[in-house]
Amino acid sequence: MAASGVARTSTAGPGPGVVVVGAGQGGTDTTAALRARGYSGPITLVSDETAMPYQRPPLSKGYLSGAVSGEDIELRSHSYFSALDIDLVRGDRAEKIDRDAQSVLLASGRRLPYEHLVLTTGARPRTLPVPGAELSGVLTLRGLDDAEELRERFARGRSLALVVIGAGFIGLELAATARKLGHEVTVVEALPRAIARAVTPEMSARLTAEHRRQGARILLRREVTALHGDGTGHVRVVELDGGERLPADLVVIGVGVLPNADLAVDAGLLVGDGVIVDQHLRTSDPAIHAIGDCARFPSPRAGRHIRLESVQNASGQARCVAAAVLGEAEPYTDVPWFWSEQYAMKLQIAGLTGDHDETVLTGDPDGGRFSVFCFRAGRLIGVESVNRPADHGIARRLLASGTDLSPHDVARPGFDLKTHPRESAQRTKEPNPV
Ligand code: FAD
């Protein structure tokens, strides 16, 4: 599906308009939201990738397994961009922002003037500072090219020995896909539990148990000290602390990402683990916004600046920025939500669960359908659900409206979130007994 060189999908117009740098989820959705809200000025969307803008979530799931094609994961088609008069520039990189002249210089030499600039440059995988990390067969997974390479290697070899370094979302999704394809999978994680930064210990334990049940080896509290290759420079062994040596045909490093903020740093914008923005997602220069994986924004839910890596966050912030460009700025306050798929477990998270001090587990964990309700100081802050989409949907609504749900409510025998809002409305109508 990828074309090469600089490709362009039509259009130019009067006035400088909006330039969006990065045509991933956030960038593509920004252009769509601008047109949906009636913005009629010129819009240019710049991508340093040659492929048409695509969704990343399938890269560790259906695209990797071969269940869906490149076309299936396109965010928008050629005809969409031309119909909406959006100038999609592919295979060209934004190299420099000239804030005084309000223009962006591309690697091709093209200069794009802007009235509003939106940075949606995403993030890149962290590297692993160990000897041998440069060997062939040591990969990361962020873009379509990475997924294509992995997919091809998975298809070429039978029962490959795959070592995944890092038990985060991407590492575990990749591990699940590889197991389903029949490969031998070992996941090595330095922390005491899987996805430790994003889910509760209960959820980590259930996910880890399922991976083990499916035949993956999950090694916790283990550090990789070196990777060793054969005579051809291809990785063959992953060495762990303590000297254990794991055979490896393929290694994927999934140890988190770094925000792509170099453009912003060079332009003198405020940056610190992401481009720092205000509640309207404006950078320290009011003509420039930043959203999605590259942006660090003040979250009213977390009570501090955070950076989120999710489709919901990129899309929600795209809508918020489009409103700001049209002079209808509102603070960004959307309830964060996220999903992941591993084997038959569809995990959905509503809210931010990291700061919880109390949890209540409901449902049927052994039957693979359950939810973990997370509270802080007695207030609901998030719900992690596995195969309970109704819990997830209702939790999002409750979190958005502010809720009276307490740990005591959830722990009551027979508690059902589906009937809870009705029940609590009923309770508030009933007169207090005297
Ligand atoms: P991106 O989508 O990464 O887009 C940024 C784009 O900017 C890239 O194309 C990049 O090449 C380009 N770019 C960078 N610098 C420049 C430059 N100087 N000039 C031009 N272009 C530039 N989220 C979920 O909610 N659920 C999931 O199940 C899920 N699964 C995932 C699986 C994988 C394998 C990956 C990698 C991510 C997954 N995510 C998931 C996260 C989600 O895809 C990201 O949070 C989302 O794509 C962020 O959108 P973005 O626009 O900020 O960045």
Greater confidence (348 vs 403) lies with 348
Question: Residue 2 pLDDT more than 70?
Answer: no
2-6, 80-84, 307-311, 392-396: which has the minimum mean pLDDT?
Answer: 2-6
Residues 13 and 108 in one domain: yes
pLDDT digits (tens, 9 = 90+) for 146-183: 999 999 999 988 899 999 999 999 999 999 999 999 99
Residues 265 and 116 in one domain: yes
Residues sharing a CB contact under 8 Å with residue 196, sequence separation 6 or more, in sequence order: 204
Determine the average pLDDT of the residues in 116-142: 98
The DSSP result for 96-126, as a single string, is: EEETTTTEEEETTS-EEE-SEEEE---EEEP
Residues 166 and 282 in one domain: no
Greater confidence (415 vs 29) lies with 29
- 336 within a domain of the structure (yes/no): no
* Residue 29 in contact with ligand 1 by CB distance below 6 A: no
Query: Quick one: tokens of 109?
Result: 């030499």
Query: Quick one: tokens of 263?
Result: 């453009």
Query: Quick one: tokens of 426?
Result: 């009923």
Q: How many domains does the chain have?
A: 3
Question: Residue 45 pLDDT more than 60?
Answer: yes
Percent of the chain clearing pLDDT 90 (strictly above): 90
- 46 within a domain of the structure (yes/no): yes
Determine the average pLDDT of the residues in 74-96: 97
Q: Among 273, 298, 325, which residue terminates a domain?
A: 325
Q: How far does the centroid of ligand 1 lie from the alpha carbon of residue 22, in Å?
A: 9
> Furthest-apart CA pair in the chain: how many Å?
85
Q: Are β-strands 138-139 and 275-276 bridged in parallel, bridged antiparallel, or unpaired?
A: unpaired
Residues 71 and 119 in one domain: yes
Probe residue for ligand 1, chosen from 114, 169, 311 as the CB with the greatest number of ligand atoms within 8 Å: 311
Determine the average pLDDT of the residues in 287-310: 97
Determine the average pLDDT of the residues in 99-116: 98
The C-alpha atoms of residue 371 and residue 386 are separated, in whole angstroms, by 6
Residues 320 and 349 in one domain: no
Determine whether 429 is exposed, middle or buried from the number of CB atoms within 10 Å of its CB (0-12, 13-18, 19+).
Answer: exposed
Backbone phi, then psi, for 142, in 5-degree steps?
-135, -45
Query: Quick one: tokens of 185?
Result: 């999978």
Determine the average pLDDT of the residues in 87-104: 98
Question: What is the CATH classification number for the domain harbouring 424?
Answer: 3.30.390.30
Question: Residue 427 pLDDT more than 90?
Answer: no
Residues sharing a CB contact under 8 Å with residue 332, sequence separation 6 or more, in sequence order: 279, 280, 281, 297, 316, 317, 320
Probe residue for ligand 1, chosen from 21, 25, 50, 56 as the CB with the greatest number of ligand atoms within 8 Å: 56
User: For residue 57, which of 214, 177, 187 has the smallest C-alpha distance?
Assistant: 177
Query: Quick one: tokens of 275?
Result: 């481009």
The answer to whether 212 touches 218, Cβ cutoff 8 Å, is yes
Question: Residue 53 pLDDT more than 60?
Answer: yes
The C-alpha atoms of residue 343 and residue 215 are separated, in whole angstroms, by 12
The pLDDT of residue 264 is 98
Question: Residue 128 pLDDT more than 90?
Answer: yes
Determine the average pLDDT of the residues in 183-193: 98
The pLDDT of residue 308 is 98
Residues 137 and 237 in one domain: yes
Residues 152 and 235 in one domain: yes
pLDDT digits (tens, 9 = 90+) for 254-277: 999 999 999 999 999 999 999 999
pLDDT digits (tens, 9 = 90+) for 242-252: 999 999 999 99
Give the CA-trace dihedral at 314, 401, 305, 221, to 10 degrees.
-80
Q: Are β-strands 235-240 and 245-247 bridged in parallel, bridged antiparallel, or unpaired?
A: antiparallel
The DSSP result for 363-397, as a single string, is: EEGGGTEEEEEEEETTEEEEEEEES-HHHHHHHHH
Residues 227 and 269 in one domain: no
- 166 within a domain of the structure (yes/no): yes
Domain interval for residue 286 = 7-124+258-325
- 368 within a domain of the structure (yes/no): yes
Residue type, 200: T
> Could you identify the residue written with the tokens 């210990």?
201
Cα–Cα–Cα angle for 348, 294, 148, rounded to 5 degrees: 70
Position 402 confidence tier, pLDDT thresholds 50, 70, 90 = confident
* Residue 165 in contact with ligand 1 by CB distance below 6 A: no
Positive/negative CA dihedral, 96, 102, 103, 104 = positive
Question: Residue 344 pLDDT more than 50?
Answer: yes
Probe residue for ligand 1, chosen from 114, 308, 309, 340 as the CB with the greatest number of ligand atoms within 8 Å: 309
Q: Within 10 A of 413 (CB to CB), how many other CB atoms are there?
A: 4
* Residue 107 in contact with ligand 1 by CB distance below 6 A: no
Question: Residue 29 pLDDT more than 50?
Answer: yes
Q: How far does the centroid of ligand 1 lie from the alpha carbon of residue 42, in Å?
A: 24
Question: Residue 327 pLDDT more than 80?
Answer: yes
Question: Residue 8 pLDDT more than 60?
Answer: no
The chain-wide mean pLDDT, for the chain, equals: 93
Question: Residue 97 pLDDT more than 70?
Answer: yes
* Residue 137 in contact with ligand 1 by CB distance below 6 A: no
Q: How far does the centroid of ligand 1 lie from the alpha carbon of residue 10, in Å?
A: 24
| pTM of the shown model | 0.93
The pLDDT of residue 10 is 34
- 370 within a domain of the structure (yes/no): yes
The pLDDT of residue 271 is 98
The C-alpha atoms of residue 381 and residue 166 are separated, in whole angstroms, by 27
The pLDDT of residue 9 is 38
Question: Residue 101 pLDDT more than 80?
Answer: yes
Question: What is the CATH classification number for the domain harbouring 29?
Answer: 3.50.50.60
The pLDDT of residue 158 is 83
Cα–Cα–Cα angle for 254, 233, 229, rounded to 5 degrees: 65
Determine the average pLDDT of the residues in 74-95: 97
Q: Are β-strands 184-188 and 217-219 bridged in parallel, bridged antiparallel, or unpaired?
A: parallel
The pLDDT of residue 14 is 58
